[in-house]
Amino acid sequence: MIIHSIGPVWDGNEVWLLTAGGATFAAFPGWYASLFSGFYIALFLILAALIIRGVSFEFWGKEESSRWRATWEWTASIGSFLAALLWGVGWADIVKGVPMNSQHNVTASLWDLLHPYALVGGLTTLALFLSHGAIFLSLRTEGDLMRRARAVARGASAATVALIAAFLIWTTIDQSGRGGVKISALVLAVGAVALAAAVPAALAAKRDGRAFSLSAGVIALLFACLFVNLFPDALPSSTNHAYNLALSGASSSHYTQTVMTVVAIIFVPIVVSYQAWTYWVFRHRLGRSEFEGTPTPLAVLDSMKAGGRSGHGPASEPTEGPAGSA
């Protein structure tokens, strides 16, 4: 039921990540180059996590063995866990700054990126994405799975409130020592924490739609806050602030930026509209009854063979022509 609830949308959602990577390369090639000079292994781990998760969705139903399915369920869980954790770790490192020389080459190793602030950022996105996904399941399923998803969402959303508050307070204190607190970033941080605090109450009232909207708002405000704190830099240097990579220095030409803006204005609304339509088409809840009986072609063939051996049912009746052959 979980796999089918996200089946029509998961691969489309991940295309946005690929698009963001391509857009970053085209619009801010200097930023892209500096990130990969030090974040290559971390970014590759995120990519590998997403790959094994996608493969798990495709392979899970290829065999009826419980061991086979359990294996791919575990790989899907591990891939999702790593992607959600490392995403927050990476963004925390970007905002805080990393060891970088005058040539804008990051000199940090993978282990240098796993300091306490980055780990708190990773735990924040992990709890936030877990809560958001569980709320989505509570909207798309019914029965026991819906109740279990709602229970997970309540626990994860409560943890999200504590973690996002700690992470943004730490971010604000850290930024205050690097040029002062930005009022706009502070407003966004307060808004993110306030929305996060409203999610558990919405879940307690069984207002899953409201909880999902609030959770989406938390994600948007959190990353807007991080971008505002980062501006006007693309990647700060913890070695020497003189080595900071500014957005203006990391960007491509004015002509390229103009063309990309026009293309985005035209095509992004079209893609978003299509995705919204997809979610609307597949909006109905999934229940256990939809997965009972003969869920796979292999099961259909097995039931026909069993019917033929027992002498009962349509499989034992003589048939002629193409229909019988089929």
For 214-239, write each residue's pLDDT tens digit: 999 999 999 999 998 888 888 888 88
Helix boundaries (H) for 97-143: 116-140
What is the mean pLDDT, run by run of 10 residues, along the chain of 326 residues?
A: 82 82 86 84 88 87 85 91 91 87 80 88 94 92 89 93 93 78 87 93 89 93 90 82 82 89 92 87 78 58 56 39 34
Q: What is the pLDDT of residue 323?
A: 35
Q: Which long-range contacts (CB under 8 A, 24 or more apart) does 17-25 make?
A: 17/50, 23/260, 23/264
What pLDDT score does 66 carry?
A: 85
Which tokens hold the place of 46?
């995120």
pLDDT at 135: 94
Max Cα separation, the chain?
85
Confidence (pLDDT) at 58: 84
Residue 194 has what pLDDT? 94
Short-list 301, 5, 300, 237, CA closest to 101: 237
Predicted local confidence at residue 164, as pLDDT: 94
Phi-psi region of 321 (alpha: psi -120 to 50; beta: other; left: phi over 0): left
CA separation for the pair 93, 168 (Å, rounded): 14
Distances (CA, A) of 228 to 39, 53, 123, 222: 21, 32, 21, 10
Inter-residue contact 226 to 88 (CB < 8 Å) = no
The Cα 195–Cα 210 span in angstroms is 11
Tokens of 319: 């048939």
Q: Which DSSP helix (H) or strand (E) runs through 99? A: none
